[in-house]
Amino acid sequence: MKWKKFRIKTKTEAEDIIISTLYDIGLEGAQIEDNVPLTPLEKEQMFVDILPQMQEDDGIAYLSFFVEETEDGELLMNGEITKEEEILNAVKTELDGLRDFMDIGEGSIAIDETEDIDWINNWKQYFKQFYVDDILIIPSWEEVKEEDKDRMIIHIDPGTAFGTGMHETTQLCIRQLKKFVKEDTELLDVGTGSGILSIVALKLGAKHAVGTDLDPCAVPAVEENKEVNEIPTQDFDMMIGNIIDDKEVQDKVGYEKYDIVVANILADVLVPLTPVIVNQMKKGGIYITSGIIDNKEETVVEAVKAAGLEVLEVTYQGEWVSVTARKN
């Protein structure tokens, strides 16, 4: 299957109205390209391995709409046969109408053709097995080599919503978990994502893990990865909500009950998280953080100390930092 792509150059402030207007004529599912800075809420919600690096916002946006192209070259929109010229004329008419009451910028339309892509599974080509010291992390669709069968093997399918675990920040956390996890460890994993850190901890011998995340997609992702790693259901509980400011989530997670809290999230989230999360930690509990770009190291260290925690170790990989501390 092929698709015809109609790409409009406009201004960021006109994105929503253009998308809404073209939706009414049958163009759906716009792909947006811009450099608008992330809001504090968006940053807070990005409990992922790495924050996207963006160029300075120039106010320009590109909106792409995709229309299915049949084998005989006709276009199919809303179940009806149409032509490229008809769509192009309709889009131009709508854009000209919008110009009467707002600045939509250049408003040019480029037309291109793209091959069909398996959007659900295309990401798999970027996720290959990798090692964190003596631990092999491997997706379900790859075979474990004979020479790796004696290693600790973690099967992780990140899905489309979360990081693969290959990122330096995740590896930094795994190495710290290897140092501190014991047989009776109760673990709290803030920003769980695919569940990789909790699953590694459980495989290392932790007794129980609780994960929190803002994204509801974490629930099925964690369930699938628990199953493939043969993690008993009762050993790993998952909660959706913002533990930073949601008292209900804090109560549900519980207070002074965790031997280890691991948080592989952004420095800007770690700062408000730290004074809250100390309440969930046992005395003597370990706090493992990452997701910290090197120029944010001091900011996180200061937040950790201000919360009354003792910094035990700062470790590095590439341009990323992990801060490990203890509640005395």
- The DSSP code for 241 is S
Q: How far is CA 166 from CA 126, 155, 163, 318, in A?
A: 10, 13, 8, 13
Task: Read off the pLDDT of each residue in 5-11 and give the average, rounded to a whole number.
Answer: 94
* pLDDT on residue 48: 45
Answer yes or no: is 315 within a domain: yes
Answer yes or no: is 154 within a domain: no
What is the 3-class SS of 33-71, one letter each residue? ECCCCCCHHHHHHCCCCCCCCCCCCCCEEEEEEEEEECC
Query: Which amino acid is it at 122?
Result: N
**Domain count within the chain:** 2
53, 87, 115 - which closes a domain: 115
- In the Cβ-directed half-sphere of 298, how many Cα atoms lie within 13 Å? 1
Answer yes or no: is 144 within a domain: no
Phi then psi for residue 96, to 5 deg, are -60, -35
Answer yes or no: is 146 within a domain: no
Q: How far, in Å, CA of 177 to CA of 164, rounded?
A: 18
Specify the higher pLDDT residue, 216 or 114: 216
Q: Are residues 106 and 197 in the same domain?
A: no
Q: How confident is the model at residue 284 (pLDDT cuts 50, 70, 90)?
A: very high
* pLDDT on residue 53: 56
Note the pLDDT tens digit of each residue in 22-55. Answer: 988 888 778 888 887 766 555 554 444 444 555 6
Q: How confident is the model at residue 115 (pLDDT cuts 50, 70, 90)?
A: low
Specify the higher pLDDT residue, 148 or 29: 148
61, 96, 115 - which closes a domain: 115
Is 121 known to sit in a ligand binding site? no
Q: How far, in Å, CA of 249 to CA of 72, rounded?
A: 55
Alpha helices by DSSP H, 28-83 = 40-45
The H or E element that residue 300 is part of is: helix 297-306
Answer yes or no: is 132 within a domain: no
Note the pLDDT tens digit of each residue in 222-243. Answer: 999 999 999 999 999 999 999 9
Whole-prediction pTM value?
Answer: 0.68
Count of CB atoms within 10 A of residue 300's CB? 26
Find the domain containing 224 and state its range: 161-327
Q: Are residues 168 and 109 in the same domain?
A: no
Answer yes or no: is 128 within a domain: no
Q: Are residues 61 and 185 in the same domain?
A: no
Q: Are residues 185 and 94 in the same domain?
A: no
Specify the higher pLDDT residue, 317 or 39: 317
Is 157 known to sit in a ligand binding site? no
Is 185 known to sit in a ligand binding site? no
CATH value at residue 174: 3.40.50.150
CATH value at residue 61: 3.30.70.120
Answer yes or no: is 123 within a domain: no
What tokens does 44 get? 């807070």
pLDDT beyond 90 at 104? yes
115, 131, 146 - which closes a domain: 115
Least confident of 122-126, 264-268, 304-308: 122-126
Answer yes or no: is 142 within a domain: no
Strand partners, 49: none
* pLDDT on residue 233: 94
Least confident of 96-105, 116-125, 283-292: 116-125
